[in-house]
Structure 1
């Protein structure tokens, strides 16, 4: 029997998306064409792969067992067939879409853009906002490179830890916390706080640390961006706790005071993430190197 590599690509998409429609959209084919591919895969494997349960499709035990293997096989195929032409940055014309945490865009974005423009003037960068929910754009190729504190768990997403961000306290000048003889975990927790969360969460890992100390802070509001949180802190007695790299300009431009946390808290990791399809892409590899350097020069690690 002759092996059709297109079926391997279709199987990978079906297992990742969990539906015919999702796999069709990912591979830019019609739903009927993907249905035919699923039929051929079922014939070749002797397994249903996806079975309907109510309104959704559920992978079979066999499909779950081979999912990681399918990912790896497809990755190896792409590596073998990928073109090995030398990269000419002076003539490269390409647009990269980057979904980074907004603080990383503010701190490291300018350095990255300067480096890109200096080496490849035909390259454009699209920085897009993070979503409030988990989205598949990285897998679908709609986002080229992510940078945030979350390490992806999907087997087809590559990730590299490029640094850490230490948290500090930001308050307005003259805030009661700045007048305390000794800032303690108790006085910190007793203040009123504002958090940053695109999902509207009123608690995060910092609250878990306080809970282990027997303390609970009072979070009175949450906002989706750090810029908004800093504005609240500037105009009120609210306390905001953010990565140190995001606070440097705020201390100068907004007249805020930065205070160290009065208790031990592990630094937040910073990860670069990309889909495995770009692992051997010369232009993408070049961009990852510049992004890594930009984050390092900005003091993230």
Structure 2
């Protein structure tokens, strides 16, 4: 029998995601990313910025001990009502190879598919990195020297808040980054579900506000549709929740009321999103609200975007 040919062993590479990359930590800092790429033989222009975004119902935490940095580095953990700020990047084959190497994939960090919310309330699927469960510390760690400052610089570079990072670095419980909820239908004062809004807490505040979009008439209740005619506004109320537990109590009830089953499920009538609510004085405030799901059929538009006025007319 002739000897077998010396055939090189085929190396199986991990699949390359077809989704954009969501960065929430040190990779937000462009100079630091370029420095790492140059030091490790990768081109520096591999990541193309798309837009800032928010990772809903997650918060950042120092849960990985990094030997190379000499202390704790960031992970993300589920947290109802929080929203981790970051940015979306277009990433090709070489970019994912560089990211995987930098993040120690798959043994230190794992890739995870998530839904992020863009500035205009659109939802996009993306890939990010979470610490491998076997490497994740049960307790919060002290940040590695200079690491928190690096991430802070990256957040500022993209015009994003540093509140969650600052709280995690200090080892304290973060307040709700977005403590406001905008309602526009049966949760309004005088409507059948207004009692739910008491969950916002004794120190809750309520004021008139509006958001960009169009209001559709689903019969006994309305629905917010993002987009619509230029300048279209939906009128409603902006509620301030007194603390994170109050916000979580309210959102857990409203998610049930609106049939929202989480960002990994797309079968609900509504989706919880983030939108800029405009107060009567013109100031804008990010707020949680509920929009119609992409699969929800279109319905007649309420032209003035005012459910209470429509309710009074019918």
Look at both structures and tell me which one has the larger radius of gyration over its CA atoms: 1
The TM-score normalised by the length of structure 1 is 0.25
Task: Work out which structure has the larger RCO, using CA pairs closer than 8 Å and 6 or more positions apart in sequence.
Answer: 1
The TM-score normalised by the length of structure 2 is 0.25
Q: More helix per residue: 1 or 2?
A: 1
